[in-house]
Structure 1
Amino acid sequence: MANGNQTEVFVYEQVVILMSCAVSFLGSLLIICTYATWKDLRTTPRKLLVFLSVTDLLSAASYLYGVWRMFDSNTWDCVVQGAISTFANTSSFFWTVAIAIYLYIFIVKSSQRLADSLVLYFHLISWGVPLAITVAALSLQKIGYDASEVSVGWCWVSIQEKDHVLWMLLTGKIWEFLAYVTLPVLYALIKVHIHKAHAALSEYRPILASRVASSSPSAMADWKLTLIPIIFIVLRVWSTVRFLLLLFDSPARQNPVLVTLHGVGNTFQGAANCIMFTLCTRAVRVRLATLLGCHRHAAPGGSDPPSRPTSGTCTRSDVDQPAEVHTWEDEEE
């Protein structure tokens, strides 16, 4: 499994992780495209999701190059790829937490004005801090070949540096640990607030209590609030495990199953967000299905369209149906 201090990455692991990178890249691109296409979906939470998707797209692209290239030395493109992935990955942590903070203030504190006023600070922190860290690491020549000891083919912090553990913490791990704590707490507080609000409302509207919870918009939002921190932790925990095993110099970090889970977990975040906030969001899903239906039923060969609409055809107005969307909870309506 290992060659000296280098973790061997098998071909099947490489193929699986390359597929994960490609799916995540396309998923992040789909989130960005849907936001750009439909104006009434351009809410602040979804705008923050777009910024997160930009970082996930950069991460997926840089990881894809790294896994395809399978670096074995400290080359110039290894350093470039490592710098891009370091910036994008760290920025992704900040934007993920920023979205949770925004939703907490918007829902629990019931202050959209305060939540919106924080967006500028989200930009300054979520772009500025990762950029400063990456520039510092580049300037001190800390980014380079890591022998796949804490990666899967791509470059990160050079394993030959004596203070590589410190720089691994600064360029990702410390922010990852903070996200593990922050996300569950914030989303748990949001869920508790929503449940209390629904309980109070049901006292005055008994009919609401008789509705099937699984089919209600609030149930879908509650389901998403539960999954967001869970998915983040499930995807990222394998990277954390390998890092901790490296600290204890355990050969278990080179286990092929663990290496594969690490590779998929680090690269699949964009795809996971796309599934939750695009494919599992009715307002977006219906539009995509309608748009695909338009292309599928378009007249072949450039022939003139029929003079009358028939079943299975649609117009632009069918795709661009206006909808008042304020939060992800409303998008399910």
Structure 2
Amino acid sequence: MSSNSSNENLTSSVPISLPTVIVGLSFLSCCLSIIGAVVIFATYCLVNVAKNQTRRFLVYLTIADLMTAVGNLIGVVRYALREETEYILERKEMKYNCTVTDSVCFVQSAVTTFSTLASFFWTSIIMIHILMTLITQQEWSKLANRVIYHIVSWGVPLVITFLAVWFDVLGEDFFITTGPWCWIKGCMEQEKVINWMALTGKGWEVATYFLTMTFYLIIKFYMCKKSLRFKDRSQNHLREEDELYIMIFFAIIILRVSGTIRFFIAMFKTSNIQKFDDAERGLLYIQSFGDSAQAFANCILFCIRDTAVRQDIWRKIRTCVRCGSPDEEERARLLQTAVN
């Protein structure tokens, strides 16, 4: 398909206006993830019992997920505050000049491309760390390994994002595989759009699905074969509650698989024009919440479901409340003073 025909298909119809519910779900998801990220950071600082290497990697993962939530939130607000006439004119302008995109859309695309890729890498690293620590019966992620983790998890996404910026492919995608936020320009040739989406996110996402699934199965098989439980490895820097971390495989698939399905649907469409049928519209509803909800889901898994973290936080809250209120003797003294 030629570039002209692709652009014509993209711009020949009236721009789609997403349902308010989709915008609302995206906004809610972003806000919940920002709150969840703050809770994860706070528990890491306040709960000493959970301050091991696994949870430190969770903090790095949460930094990436927080950037994604903030970036998508900016994209949602941009879409919600758009002026419809200007939006239509922008779409028509992209028919003739595919390099046109506004600065907010461009920056948001760059930030979320980088942070989403970093999130995939840190998710895989957490699984690698747990597997190797479990098998070797010692702290696997020593200084040299941690340096490599940071170089790979921040460096590779930075290089890929730089390439996307260099080739000027970031911008308004007109919801080809996203919700109310920007990513890869939808005005390019369809094949080029799909290839860049694979390179800057979806390809790595699918690889993360299979990689973390493989690690999960290996961990479970090893534990069954050796009749092990995580608390049997507490002397090797693994907590009993660290078994929750291997569930991150399920969380990422449940949250993001709808967007992945939409990506594969887009691969087999004959044009970039967006005409949602009922099935794809349903997937869009799920994706609008799920793509930004990783930090929120991790907060539930690793703060609320983690018994030691939950109990220690509750203990600190009660202590703080108790310290903030006068004891019985102080109450009696204050009452006596008031009577006199």
The question of whether the paired residues in 2 share the 8 Å contact of 1:24 and 1:60 is answered with yes
Q: CA deviation at 1:176?
A: 0.4
- 2:259 equivalent to 1:239: yes
The question of whether the paired residues in 2 share the 8 Å contact of 1:143 and 1:156 is answered with yes
Q: How far apart, in 2, do the equivalents of 1:178 and 1:118 lie?
A: 21
SS at match of 1:112: coil
Q: Which residue of 2 aligns with 1:277?
A: 302
- 2:76 equivalent to 1:67: yes
Q: Which residue of 2 aligns with 1:189?
A: 218
Q: How far apart, in 2, do the equivalents of 1:159 and 1:192 lie?
A: 44
- More displaced 10-residue stretch of structure 1: 96-105 or 25-34: 25-34
The question of whether the paired residues in 2 share the 8 Å contact of 1:105 and 1:115 is answered with no
- 2:176 equivalent to 1:176: no
> Could you tell me which amino acid in structure 1 is paired with residue 287 of structure 2?
H
Q: How far apart, in 2, do the equivalents of 1:265 and 1:116 lie?
A: 34
Q: How far apart, in 2, do the equivalents of 1:60 and 1:28 lie?
A: 10
Q: CA deviation at 1:292?
A: 2.8
- 2:141 equivalent to 1:129: no
Q: Which residue of 2 aligns with 1:257?
A: 282
Q: CA deviation at 1:29?
A: 1.6
Q: How far apart, in 1, do the equivalents of 2:15 and 2:64 lie?
A: 28
Out of 152, 155, 164, which is 2:182 matched to? 155
Q: CA deviation at 1:3?
A: 9.1
- 2:103 equivalent to 1:76: yes
Task: Spell out, residue by residue over 1:62-101, the C-alpha distance to the aligned partner (whole angstroms, 9 max, x if none).
Answer: 1111112116452111000111111101110000001111
Q: How far apart, in 2, do the equivalents of 1:270 and 1:136 lie?
A: 27
Out of 162, 172, 197, which is 1:145 matched to? 172
Out of 61, 74, 86, which is 1:52 matched to? 61
SS at match of 2:291: helix
SS at match of 1:273: helix
Task: Spell out, residue by residue over 1:6-42, the C-alpha distance to the aligned partner (whole angstroms, 9 max, x if none).
Answer: 5431111111221111111111121112112234432
Q: Could you say if the C-alpha distance between residues 131 and 232 of structure 1 is closer, same or farther in structure 2, counting changes exceeding 3 Å? A: same
- 2:317 equivalent to 1:292: yes
Q: Which residue of 2 aligns with 1:85?
A: 112
TM-score, L = length of structure 2: 0.77
> Could you tell me which amino acid in structure 1 is paired with residue 114 of structure 2?
F
The question of whether the paired residues in 1 share the 8 Å contact of 2:129 and 2:140 is answered with no
Out of 119, 139, 145, which is 1:112 matched to? 139
Q: Which residue of 2 aligns with 1:306?
A: 327
The question of whether the paired residues in 1 share the 8 Å contact of 2:202 and 2:260 is answered with yes
Gaps of 5+ in 2: 1-10, 91-100, 230-238, 332-340
Q: Which residue of 1 aligns with 2:24?
A: 15
Q: Which residue of 1 aligns with 2:247?
A: 227
The question of whether the paired residues in 1 share the 8 Å contact of 2:47 and 2:313 is answered with no
The number of residue pairs the alignment matches comes to 287
Task: Spell out, residue by residue over 1:116-145, the C-alpha distance to the aligned partner (whole angstroms, 9 max, x if none).
Answer: 642111100000010111111112211000
SS at match of 2:178: coil
Task: Spell out, residue by residue over 1:249-306, the C-alpha distance to the aligned partner (whole angstroms, 9 max, x if none).
Answer: 1745773321111111111111111111111111110122123334545546xxxx33
Gaps of 5+ in 1: 201-216, 311-333
Q: How far apart, in 1, do the equivalents of 2:129 and 2:227 lie?
A: 21
Q: CA deviation at 1:198?
A: 2.4
TM-score, L = length of structure 1: 0.79
Identity %: 28
Report the structure number with the largest CA radius of gyration.
2
Q: CA deviation at 1:148?
A: 1.3
Q: How far apart, in 1, do the equivalents of 2:293 and 2:141 lie?
A: 32
Q: Could you say if the C-alpha distance between residues 5 and 118 of structure 1 is closer, same or farther in structure 2, counting changes exceeding 3 Å? A: farther
Q: How far apart, in 2, do the equivalents of 1:299 and 1:112 lie?
A: 41
Q: CA deviation at 1:153?
A: 1.1
> Could you tell me which amino acid in structure 2 is paired with residue 289 of structure 1?
W
Alpha-carbon RMSD across the aligned residues, in angstroms, is 2.7
